[in-house]
Amino acid sequence: MSLLSSSHFHGYALALHTSSPELGLALSNFSGDRRCGVWDLGRSLSTDLHAYLQDFLQPQGWQDLTFLAVAKGPGGFTGTRIGVVTARTLAQQLNLPLLAISSLAAFANSMRDEAQNGDSEPAVDVAVQMPAQRGELFTAIYSSRDSTPAWTALFPDTVLSVEQWRQVLEQWPRPYRLFQADGGLGGSATSLLQLAYAEWCGGLRPLWADALPFYGQHPVAR
């Protein structure tokens, strides 16, 4: 997917990442003005999120936003749900597109440079695993074969046992690098925003109601 020039984008975009105990926020106009922040809020996320959003957005205002992005999971149930519900509410009230991005995809994108470092090939596949409940793993494999932020899910986000995941990797037909997404994920909010921008440039303008959290088993009904 080739990205449009930033001259085609007007305003700012805001990304929310709450799929771990960390709150991650990122804001950009994709023309040089960008910032991000990460806060370890833990259980206070539900009470403090809106205050952090208001402070982070300044000096811009809600009227300056062109689209919103949110991490849809997988991740912690409560945090993911809070982030998606907040983003859906904002998108509905502001009448903005809302792009829901996989937490694993955002993490994979943040590992792009490390995955490619020292490799003779332009890119390698990025396998991501993250602890789930009952000793299982959230798993995915992504690939980016050009210089754009767009990623293709070669093995979509899935919950597997450790043994099932080992078998997938053993049979994988292409070179890959395996990364563990553990602990705070708020730092990948910038990567989340990059992936959302790639989708926006590709013409996607999803409605707020299309953004559903992913907990590993099935989406939650609207």
Per-residue pLDDT reduced to its tens digit, 67-117: 999 999 999 999 999 999 999 999 999 999 999 999 999 999 988 766 665
User: Please, what is the Cα angle at 4 between 125 and 107, to 5 degrees?
Assistant: 30
Do 27 and 86 have their domain in common?
yes
Do 66 and 16 have their domain in common?
yes
Question: Does residue 116 fall inside a structural domain?
Answer: yes
Do 37 and 81 have their domain in common?
yes
Do 138 and 199 have their domain in common?
no
Question: Does residue 11 fall inside a structural domain?
Answer: yes
Which is nearest to 196 in space by CA: 44, 214, 188? 188
Which runs of E-coded beta strand occur in 18-89?
22-28, 34-40, 65-71
**Tokens of residue 165, six digits:** 């995941």
**Tokens of residue 125, six digits:** 């596949």
Do 172 and 112 have their domain in common?
yes
The answer to whether 97 touches 85, Cβ cutoff 8 Å, is no
pLDDT of residue 209: 96
Do 85 and 36 have their domain in common?
yes
Output phi, psi for 107, to 5 deg: -65, -40
If one counts every other C-beta atom within 10 angstroms of the C-beta of residue 38, the result is 18
Do 60 and 126 have their domain in common?
no
Q: What is the CATH number of the domain that holds 49?
A: 3.30.420.40
Q: CA-to-CA distance for 69 and 7, rounded, in angstroms?
A: 20
Do 61 and 155 have their domain in common?
no
Question: Does residue 86 fall inside a structural domain?
Answer: yes
Per-residue pLDDT reduced to its tens digit, 187-211: 999 999 999 999 999 999 999 999 9
Question: Does residue 221 fall inside a structural domain?
Answer: no
Do 117 and 164 have their domain in common?
yes
Q: CA-to-CA distance for 161 and 145, rounded, in angstroms?
A: 29
* Banded pLDDT at 131 (limits 50, 70, 90): very high
Do 85 and 119 have their domain in common?
no
Question: Does residue 59 fall inside a structural domain?
Answer: yes
Do 117 and 99 have their domain in common?
no
Tally of structural domains, the chain: 2
Question: Does residue 218 fall inside a structural domain?
Answer: no
**Lowest mean pLDDT segment, chosen from 30-39, 105-114, 136-145, 197-206:** 105-114
The answer to whether 141 touches 154, Cβ cutoff 8 Å, is yes
Do 93 and 25 have their domain in common?
yes
Residue 166 CA, chain-centre distance (Å), reads: 25
pLDDT of residue 179: 95
**What range does the domain containing 118 cover?**
108-180
